[in-house]
Chains A and B, each alone.
Chain A
Amino acid sequence: MPRPGFVLDVDRSTPPILFHHGEGFRFEKLPPGRSRVIYPAEPIDPIKNPDGAIRDALENPIGDSEPLRALLKPGMKLTIAFDDISLPLPPMKSPDIRQRVIEAVLELAAAAGVDDVMLIAALALHRRMTENELRHAVGDRVYDAFAPHGLLVNHDAEDPDNLLYIGSTDQGEEVEINKRAAESDLLIYVNINLVSMDGGWKSTATGLSSYRSLRHHHNPKTMRHSKSFMDQHRSELHSSNWRMGKVLRDSGVKVFQIETTMNNNVFGTEGPMSVLQKREWEWTLKDRITAMGMKAALDRMPARSKRSIFQNWQAPHAMTSVQAGEVEAVHKITTENVYKQHLVSVEGQTDILTMGLPYISPYNVNSIMNPILVACLGLGYFFNLYRGKPPVREGGVVIMSHPTPWEFHPVHHPSYIDFFDQVLTVTHDPVRMEAEFEKSFAEDEWYRHLYRTSYAYHGVHPFYMWYWCSHALQHVGQVIIVGGDVRAVHRLGFKAASTLQDALEMASDVVGRDATITHLHNPPVLMADVS
């Protein structure tokens, strides 16, 4: 029986806590008496027969939907869209959940005599997936059957011929999505829900949309009104996507949503990496030797080698639920299942929030975690992993641990380089950068060309990463990065500290000497349910 997450009050007997630090670790002693650590739940038990569960979900849909078998007709136009490389994190061991679901869907489609089938990676403004990444997501069988005929493609949000303007919401938000998806008799969306922000109408209204549509909710105003964007009842991002979903539904786009959840088994229960998933006081002698050995080796290893080791890691995630049918009804159940794994009850806020940032975020799979992504992972994702209120009080301090190298992937993140040099040198204010710089990056022909033909994130993407931090930047009084490249940290507008003790000392200027501390222990991710 997996143990639930819990909050540990730090005292003198508490061992040093493992902080992830990019492609390495730090062991930190938190001040006793005024610190607490939020530990995630252990991985919940997976479904024993995932393929059977998928077939069952397709036959017994949720909400106002017929079984998939009944929706499939000979001669129909069928489009299957699926989540891109940003999910799950880290990439999971083969077979990927998407492969299992897509194969089950295609078996039914074949039995129904559906010939006109197309698969689309719903990547919005993310980079295109490479052949290997697509193969991993959908499996060799599906890839070999569809890709050579041009029937398995990456969504192109800058292809005017393949986008269709559907209409606008009652608040004037334009809805424009992939033309093939919009004109299909049935659009099946295959989703992986890693965090509660994923899924629902966000899958189609964001994943298959264009800049014209995305700009209505990917902006500082929406992000500042999403408290947090992981809590759909208090997320303006969620509300906007739901309004767009209504436009899609009313215009006749028929969506059959298939959502899956997975457990947080990131490093497994065996092998050297499994120590990263255990609670420190439960480490055996072997675990302690492994952890120390890994740290010593990683500290001495070149960055490229470390990155290669971690980026090649495939997590033994396993599926914990699958539900299919009408979008909103499905997503409601999905969210409950996500919460079963992630929610940890936490009482009250503290003055300081600490977090060890790992090597991976949704936007640097098989890539480099540049300083902008470090900020986004900490202040965008981890900070927002709460329900109720943030674990740190307003005006408090966030301390993040990450090497924050001044390093960018030139193929994946070309516009990030210019954003770092041209925008962050002028302002850190998301509202100002939106007004002054966003349009020129979003409509830059070179970035557009790289997004469409190479493997680059869209020109506007680094702005979105900064907007993601809007709520945190507005909420906290100071951000300190421990162990980061000082110049890069300063460019981000944050303070740099060599050690956690230094960071706490610096934080005392803002929150006082006896400040209380909350540490988010991750990965795996958790969601603090703060009362």
Chain B
Amino acid sequence: MTRLTERLPDPAAADALYAIGFRTLLIHGKRLPKQEWAT
């Protein structure tokens, strides 16, 4: 699972995480592009 999260934003990794039940992604401010906070 750690390997999968480390591969993000690879869509294949996101799909694999979804397939095993991950439904929520929490992103803290320091990881977000600046424009995300501008909106």
Say if A and B assemble together.
no
Which residues of chain A have a CB within 8 Å of any CB of chain B? none
Chain B interface (Cβ < 8 Å from any Cβ of A): none
